[in-house]
Chains A and B, each alone.
Chain A
Amino acid sequence: MSGFRLNLRDGVGTAIGDKSIQFVFDGKPYRGREGDSLASALMANGVSIVGRSFKYHRPRGIFSAGSEEPNALVTLHRGARREPNIRATEVELYDGLTARSQNRWPSVNFDVMAINQLAGSAFSAGFYYKTFMGPGRRGHKATQFWWFCEQFIRRAAGLGRGTNLPDPDHYGRMNAYCDILVVGTGAAGLAAARRAAAGGARVIVCEERAVAGGSLTSLPDYIDGEPARDWAAGQRDELSAMDNVTLLTRTTVQSYFDDNTFLAIERVTDHQARPAAATPRQRAWNIRARSAVIATGALERPIVFAGNDRPGVMLADAARRYAVEFGTAPGRAVAVFTNNDTGWLVARDMARAGVIVTDIIDVRTDVPDEIRAISEETRAAVSTGSAIRSVKGARAVSGAVIAEYNEMTGELGETRKTIACDCIAVSGGWSPVFHLTSQQGGKPVWEAELQAFLPGEPTQNWHGAGAMVGAFGLRAALQSGDKAAGAALADAKLRKGRGHVPKVEGDAIDYAPAPVFEINSGGKSFVDLQHDVTAEDVRLAHREGFVSVEHLKRYTTLGMATDQGKTSNVTGLAIMAAASDKAIADTGTTRFRPPYTPVTLGALAGEKYGHLAAERLTPMHDWHVEQDAHMYANGPWLRPESYNLPGETVEQAYIRETRLVREGVGIVDVSTLGKIDVQGPDAAEFLNRIYTNGFAKLPVGKARYGLMLREDGFLFDDGTTWRLAENRYLMTTTTAGAGRVMEHLEYYRDFVWPNLKVALASVSDEWAGIAVAGPKSRAVLKACVKGCDVSDKGLPFMGVRDATIGGIEVKIARLSFSGELAYEVYCGSHHGQSLWDLLFKAGEKHNIVPYGLEALSTLRIEKGHVAGPELNGRTTPHDLALSGMVSSKKNFVGSVLLQRETFSKADRLQLVAVKSLDGQRVSGGSHLVSGSKDNPGRSQGHVTSPCYSPELGCYISLAMLEGGSARHGEKMFFSNPVRNKHGAVEVISHHMIDPTGGRMHG
């Protein structure tokens, strides 16, 4: 193929502007014109080989002019923006664009791996399964052999390579709602959009290409007296000007989900040389439509023949588009090979544009006279009842051998002649694009008269229009678009109004092709160009028993890869049907899955890229950061892990912080705890049913530690709940459990006991929480608290009081997580930082120390308090030595199934602590075993919360151990084979400090 730019004039190069544009392909600079696609610009520059094939590394050229392109895949840009497998046919040219061909080394014109072609028969269907998944060879298991070979195969076979660098672009999202979504802006889509818009519906219209119009942009017909493309442009302008219409170009509707929800990807700046920084590169539209008109048209399919993958063989309609729209001849001498009338029109339109069409070859003998008359205008030699036996030319088409062909038997006869041509434009008929409705479960139906699958019965509110439902030709398309919009208006409960179909002057032809899919002459003929699947591969699959279409697809990989077989599926099915002597209708089709074309992952991530989840911050966040605290992600929350002094490790820091709390006083941010406001006349009864222990008799001004179970008897969450008034409680939950506890409470309030008058409100964000802990904590509070006696008598253990600190209203609860004398002080979160500053100032003379999550955890581990690692969904109160918290006087959530026999077995995992005997850090996640490092024996339990204990002067951990409560004093080992750790420990009671509670009660 040696394409070239035609003389641009009216009707030739309609999309092409005056501006010259510079671009680079495979390192070489070229010039194109404004309006070119990368494919048309390469073609105009005479570039014929644009890539190498997937498996055999055969040279490949441009095959189509749209998103169905199987061959012309290129890698765009460099560095972090490098993007592989982009269809050159869809890339709009701009100044400075750089593109590279793929799957070739060292160059697209000389590719070493082309040697694979010689071994062609070895790489037939199922090659990998047969070679690697079968029985092993010479003592090697087949899978091992695969592992060895995979690295080489992956390099040799395949498509382009992406980048591992972070994506520097950003992506947007849009949520859209409409009455009617129109997909496609060909004749049918525009007719539908017109009527839907005139009916007052909120309409969204999506067009994959840069310009609305579909096939109207290249057809010579007239609509309402104007050239079709002008009519389309007028419609586009009218629609754009309407308030109730959103017209999106460069927007592909990729997915059709349940309940008429669609995903469309808009390529916002991909066509711009220098996009504005604030504009997203692509935008994902989530469209909810009451009804939809699917007017996605049809894709031309090729006829398969020997050598049909040579650069220069391309789809006929694409050849027309290049000539008419892009003003580019696909070759110097073009032959048209067809099984239907449209091929003849393509020949005529190309000839009118100035392309030399040398031959028209039609498999049919019975060609209508008016179609034959067309050849007179083209001045091409006509061969009917003929087909291409083979293609001349090693690296690109240089000619073709034409032979007699019997349409009825499918057999080739005598060779008629050899022609010279550098482009073969092929038309094998039209396949409606019903990918979207198939995604939705619509079962395609074979229509023998049209030789095409049609989308079948709607499974949702959609109406097909135009070629998509077999309404071929402008007149039929406009009519069906108009009608579909009427039905869609009715779906959206709007008045249908009266339809209007514009007048069409132009070709009235029969689009149905002869049922010829393949010319079998024994040479290598490709069905799926992208995955190098030949017609022989399909027959081989059949011979080997893979007769279902789903098996055919997976065994041969027909229809896989980035084009998903857009130009090959129907042909593949037809060849399979012929091989199995079945009708195409009985062979069935595979179901299409979203997306319709490849989607950039960034577009799906949308604005969340680089910012995957929202962060929850406490009111004192900035203070922690200013102190250089290590911030640690605790679910969505960021919390200080430790406040390291210069040169300190995290471990040194938490040991220091822990020690200072036990000796003096520390201050910690506990704002992350879940907090739920529970109110109402039945609040007490409700809590009594939710918690394992009693809450009805809790006096006002007191807090109580409570346990919640799931209905199956396992522990769910814990926390303190404060009775603020007769009918008002403040429940606290674990940080991680806040959300699920709220849902748990709401479930029981709404679904199980709807008669209880209980109001639930999340107040986690209302209250900042600060714990002040240590023997000197009372002195700190005494120095700043007004309106409350903080002495042991005035504020006893578990007491809750209102007070003020520096004018800030606070609630003080005397609670201890650390085992020390301690208080939790709550205030409105917008005062959180001020309160922190006031408490800190009051504590300065007692050397108050801020402590982080690690010290908080160390303090509670030493005290033997359980937390997340122990409340892991597999433990009961009995396992954690909390049986005393389980009331036997009432029924509550989980009370019945907690009595299951299995929960009282003596060998259940029970809470203990272990202390290291050899000075080793107890490795998190370790098992507890009796044996040596080499022979550890079976796991008898595991460690849950390890730390260094300043109090005990050694490494310790809470642990869950089989029958552990009776094993204190036993010597064991912790074993962590993953980290290669093993060490001696002693099982001890989890009450490691102050077992009588003298400190916190003091």
Chain B
Amino acid sequence: MRLTCPYCGSRDHQEFTYRGDATAVRPALNNTSIDDHNAYIFDRSNPDGVHQELWNHTSGCRTHLVVERNTVTHEVLSCKPVGPFARKLK
């Protein structure tokens, strides 16, 4: 599998680290609901098809990216930068 790092370009997936479901958003810092945190950490869907994944280009520029990928065909539909520089990288 090849992923396109928004900074370094097309690279082998071995350079990247999977960081989990990109749709799981951490509750705000002042949110102390155990249920909300529980959902963020443990509740995951396991889609048969298109999935949003968070990856980090660990062996390169260490940029985080959201990869839209089909879990059935393995097709990578898009790689979008996230993080402080996301807007600059688009």
Contact = CB atoms under 8 A, between A and B. Distances in A.
B37 A711 contact: yes
B86 interface: yes
A897 B40 CA distance: 11
Given A711-B26, A751-B64, A288 B41 contact: no
A7 interface: no
14 contacts: A259-B1, A747-B19, A750-B82, A751-B19, A751-B54, A751-B83, A754-B86, A755-B84, A891-B30, A891-B32, A895-B32, A896-B31, A896-B37, A897-B38
Interface string B44-83: 0000000000101010001110000000011010000011
Interface string A250-266: 00000001111100000
B17 to A, nearest CB: 7
A365 interface: no
Nearest to B10: A288
Contacts of B1: 257-259, 261
A77 interface: no
B37 A897 contact: yes
Given A743-B58, A749-B83, A751-B83, A711 B40 contact: yes
B43 interface: no
A900 B37 CA distance: 11
A900 B63 CA distance: 33
B56 A747 contact: yes
Interface residues of B, number: 32
A760 to B, nearest CB: 9
A897 to B, nearest CB: 5
Which residue among A711, A743, A751 has the maximum number of chain B CB atoms within 10 Å of its CB? Answer: A751
Given A891-B29, A896-B34, A899-B34, A261 B82 contact: no
Contact of A258 (B19, B36, B64, B74): B74
A257 B1 CA distance: 7
A891 to B, nearest CB: 5
B64 A711 contact: no
A776 interface: no
A689 interface: yes
B84 to A, nearest CB: 5
A505 interface: no
A230 interface: no
Nearest to B34: A896
A258 B14 CA distance: 13
A743 B56 contact: yes
A752 interface: yes
B84 A750 contact: yes
A896 B7 CA distance: 35
A765 interface: no
Nearest to B1: A258
Contacts of A258: 1-2, 74
A288 B2 contact: yes
Given A711-B41, A897-B38, 19 more contacts: A259-B76, A260-B2, A288-B12, A441-B73, A459-B73, A711-B37, A746-B56, A747-B56, A750-B82, A750-B83, A750-B84, A751-B64, A751-B83, A752-B26, A891-B29, A891-B30, A896-B31, A896-B32, A900-B34
Interface string A879-905: 000000000000100011101100000
B54 A689 contact: no
Contacts of A169: none
B76 A746 contact: no
A752 B29 CA distance: 10
Contacts of B34: 896-897, 899-900
A259 to B, nearest CB: 4
A261 B12 contact: yes
A754 B38 contact: no
B63 to A, nearest CB: 8
A712 interface: yes
Contacts of A746: 56, 62, 64
A746 B33 CA distance: 24
A340 B41 CA distance: 64
Contacts of B74: 258-259
Given A257-B1, A746-B62, A754 B83 contact: yes
Contacts of B86: 754
A979 B9 CA distance: 53
A816 B26 CA distance: 36
A899 B35 CA distance: 12
B5 to A, nearest CB: 13
A800 B17 CA distance: 35
A459 B31 CA distance: 46
A757 B83 CA distance: 11
B83 A743 contact: no
Nearest to B76: A259
B73 to A, nearest CB: 7
Interface string A734-755: 0000000001001101111011
Nearest to B38: A897
Contacts of A459: 73
A895 B26 CA distance: 13
Interface string B8-20: 0010100001010
Contacts of B58: 743
B76 A743 contact: no
A260 B40 CA distance: 35
Contacts of B63: 750
Contacts of A751: 19, 54, 64, 82-83
Query: Residue among B27, B34, B63, B86 with the most chain A CB within 10 A?
Result: B34
Interface in A226-282: 257-261
Contact of A747 (B2, B41, B64): B64
